[in-house]
A and B are shown apart, each in its own frame.
Chain A
Amino acid sequence: MIKHTTYLSRTYKLPDGHKLAAYEGVGGYKQARRVLSTMKREEVVDELKKANIRGRGGAGFPCGVKWSFMRPHPTKPAYLVINADEGEPGTFKDRTIMELNPHSVVEGCIIGCLGIGAHAAYVYVRDELHLSKARLWEAIKEARAKGYLGKRPFGVDYEVEVYVQTGGGAYICGEETALLNSLEGRRGEPRFKPPFPAQVGAFGCPTTVNNLETIAAVPTAFELGCEEFSKLSELHDTKDGGTRLFGVSGHVKTPGVFECCVGLTLRELVYDLGGGILGDGKLLGVIPGGSSCPILRPDELVNAPDEKSPLHRWHGKSVLDVPMGVDTYRALGTMLGTCCAIVLSDKADPVLAFHNLMRFYRHESCGQCTPCREGTGWIERILDKIVAGEGSLEELNLLHDVASGIMGNTICAFGEGAAMPALGFVQKFRPELEAYVKSGGKSGTGRLAP
């Protein structure tokens, strides 16, 4: 069921909503003040756990649990690092927060710093988002001038500083350990894990990396009470709480970012919020949460006869009617990812869509691991041939084998992020791919735009 909310987006429609006055006018900074003045670190973490905020950056890890991994170090400081690299194709939600509600990020960082025992937060923003960076800096300056940041925020003896750091144009820097290397002034190559950032993160110190929307949701959770915040979600019982930003782009009439309670379905996102399919097209497929999530086709039905399955309630129904949650989508064999869907109508050639994405992954592989570096290149070259009408049926099987060979054999999750959508296309668009090969590339529409 669609339940619109305006917590994360509370200042989006206000005049000068990005300014401190507007944010304080709707209750901003009250929670940071309260938390800093009255709560201990452990209390903050215990409370936040009840909010069931699943990481909004893609992996869906519970935020409160992540904070609880931070242990005070005898000699080293701790850092909070906010991931605003927003590079996952199809994803454009964090940008709206930075441009239209940047103070929620600063307030989230103040609470976050106390929660993990840090005194400094770095917000890593991809360089291209110049307005986002400017708005964040402006918010930081305003907050500092008011005494909400610095040595004694709100008069409390707990120093908090927030800085904006810029990237240099590399998708891989969204991966948290690549981001840490980039923050340190290095090439953005992912690190081996373990050690995890909570042990060895930024500058060799314990670090928590949170997505920007994740941290921006924290003040709201404390305002409502974390359990109440969680209960806004249809999936509260399965620990997927609160409200979040849903994005939709591609072949829909009204693309955009919408704040709703968790529990929205893909059908609602596409047909209600997205206004339905563009022109006179029919829905061909949806990539639910950024390009790394395997595509769903509208004729797929949920097959979960087992009562213990998280999908049992929707057994026999269309996949479009399953609430969009971290665990529900994993059970469907795809991922919720960043919760920003890309919609393809039947005017789009699915083979060209597949090709477009695999070109992206080949371009963005950092090249450290052979299966990823060579595999993404190989997949792209096979698709080059297929698109040119020179592919063979054996090569369709080869696509599957190469993608499978990447899975589980790489340093970072980019490998899976490239291989899973490839396997999704190969499996779910097998008839279209075969027709393409057999017709010498003439069976498709030959276009992506309608």
Chain B
Amino acid sequence: MAFALTPERELELADILGRYPNKMAATIPVLHLCQDQNGWVSPEVVTFVAATCDVPVAHVQGVVTFYTLFNQKPVGKHQVWVCRTLSCALRGADDVLHHCEKRLGIHVGETTKDGQVTLRTAECLAACGQAPMMQVDKDYHENLTLEQVDAILDRLKRS
């Protein structure tokens, strides 16, 4: 089925398209807008973005494959990114990551069986002074202890 935006997101789309001298420049913001609604960039989303931004489908595919934040396949309801770069690693990011793997019963890159949580690693998320940290959906969780990680993961499994 063809992809369509919700009415609220249609309004946002109009706003986005008004920001640039051409439509192509809206490609990345529009991809985010669609992914927010759809969870991932499906072939239907690619077609929609290509038509909306007046660019070839291959162009959109090239963009989607370049940037790590675009999901090329479906992901869990929630996404957890544990930063593993140096400042976080110096403050125990490895322990946080292993703890998440154990607690969720999955490896990095996988989604829990119930489809609730996808676990990933991230490169430096500009929170180095509050390490270790992880991003859960759109929120940062900083200065993490393993107890806090437990509380966050428990909440995600339920919500």
Residues in A lying within 8 Å of B, measured CB to CB: 77, 86-92, 94-95, 126-131, 163, 165-171, 182-189, 203, 247-251, 255-257, 287, 291, 340, 342-344, 348, 352-353, 356-357, 360, 363-364, 448-449
B127 contacts the other chain (CB 8 A) = yes
From B22, which residue of chain A is reached at the shortest CB distance? A203
In whole Å, how far is A203's beta carbon from the nearest beta carbon of chain B? 5
From A169, which residue of chain B is reached at the shortest CB distance? B69
Contact in complex: A90, B128 (CB < 8 Å): yes
Contact in complex: B123, A449 (CB < 8 Å): no
Contact in complex: A89, B128 (CB < 8 Å): yes
From A165, which residue of chain B is reached at the shortest CB distance? B29
Contact in complex: A250, B126 (CB < 8 Å): no
Residues of chain A lying within 8 A (CB to CB) of residue B140: 131
CA A188 – CA B55 in complex, angstroms? 16
Q: A88-B124, A255-B131, A257-B129 are in contact. Are A183 and B86 (CB under 8 A)?
A: no
CA A343 – CA B128 in complex, angstroms? 11
CA A448 – CA B92 in complex, angstroms? 7
From A205, which residue of chain B is reached at the shortest CB distance? B21
| Contact for A92 among B53, B93, B129, CB less than 8 A | B129
Residues of chain B lying within 8 A (CB to CB) of residue A90: 86-87, 124, 128
Task: Output the residue of B19, B85, B127, B139 with the most chain A CB within 10 A.
Answer: B85
CA A426 – CA B9 in complex, angstroms? 52
- Given known contacts A128-B69, A352-B89, what 6 new A-B pairs fall within 8 Å (CB)? A89-B123, A92-B126, A92-B129, A249-B90, A255-B128, A449-B93
Residues of chain B lying within 8 A (CB to CB) of residue A247: 128-129
- Over the window 77-114 of chain B, the binary record of Cβ atoms lying under 8 Å from chain A Cβ atoms (1 yes, 0 no) is 00000001111011111110000000000000000000
CA A353 – CA B131 in complex, angstroms? 15
**Complex A-B: 10 CB contacts under 8 Å:** A165-B28, A168-B67, A170-B68, A185-B24, A185-B27, A186-B62, A188-B67, A342-B90, A352-B89, A357-B86
Residues of chain A lying within 8 A (CB to CB) of residue B53: 185
Residues in B lying within 8 Å of A, measured CB to CB: 19-22, 24-29, 31-32, 53, 55, 59, 62-63, 66-70, 84-87, 89-95, 122-131, 135, 138-140
From A449, which residue of chain B is reached at the shortest CB distance? B92
CA A90 – CA B53 in complex, angstroms? 36
CA A356 – CA B129 in complex, angstroms? 18
Residues of chain A lying within 8 A (CB to CB) of residue B90: 249-251, 342-344, 348, 353, 448-449
CA A363 – CA B128 in complex, angstroms? 19
In whole Å, how far is B57's beta carbon from the nearest beta carbon of chain A? 14
Contact in complex: B31, A87 (CB < 8 Å): no
In whole Å, how far is B140's beta carbon from the nearest beta carbon of chain A? 8
CA A163 – CA B124 in complex, angstroms? 25
Task: Output the residue of A129, A188, A249 with the most chain B CB within 10 A.
Answer: A249
Q: A342-B86, A348-B90 are in contact. Are A187 and B128 (CB under 8 A)?
A: no
| Contact for A449 among B22, B25, B89, B127, CB less than 8 A | B89
Residues of chain B lying within 8 A (CB to CB) of residue A352: 89
What 7 pairs between A and B have smallest CB-CB spacing? A168-B67, A185-B27, A169-B69, A249-B128, A255-B129, A169-B68, A187-B66
Task: Output the residue of B26, B89, B135 with the most chain A CB within 10 A.
Answer: B89
CA A215 – CA B128 in complex, angstroms? 23
| Contact for B129 among A131, A256, A357, CB less than 8 A | A256
Contact in complex: A95, B126 (CB < 8 Å): yes
In whole Å, how far is B54's beta carbon from the nearest beta carbon of chain A? 10
In whole Å, how far is B68's beta carbon from the nearest beta carbon of chain A? 4
In whole Å, how far is A420's beta carbon from the nearest beta carbon of chain B? 15
In whole Å, how far is A202's beta carbon from the nearest beta carbon of chain B? 9
Residues of chain A lying within 8 A (CB to CB) of residue B129: 92, 247-249, 255-257
Contact in complex: A94, B24 (CB < 8 Å): no
Contact in complex: A168, B126 (CB < 8 Å): no
Residues of chain B lying within 8 A (CB to CB) of residue A449: 89-95
Residues of chain A lying within 8 A (CB to CB) of residue B27: 185-186
Residues of chain B lying within 8 A (CB to CB) of residue A92: 126-130
Contact in complex: B87, A188 (CB < 8 Å): no
Residues of chain B lying within 8 A (CB to CB) of residue A182: 28
Residues of chain B lying within 8 A (CB to CB) of residue A129: 126
Contact in complex: B19, A163 (CB < 8 Å): yes
Q: A249-B128, A255-B130, A340-B128 are in contact. Are A171 and B94 (CB under 8 A)?
A: no
From A184, which residue of chain B is reached at the shortest CB distance? B25
In whole Å, how far is B156's beta carbon from the nearest beta carbon of chain A? 17
CA A441 – CA B130 in complex, angstroms? 30
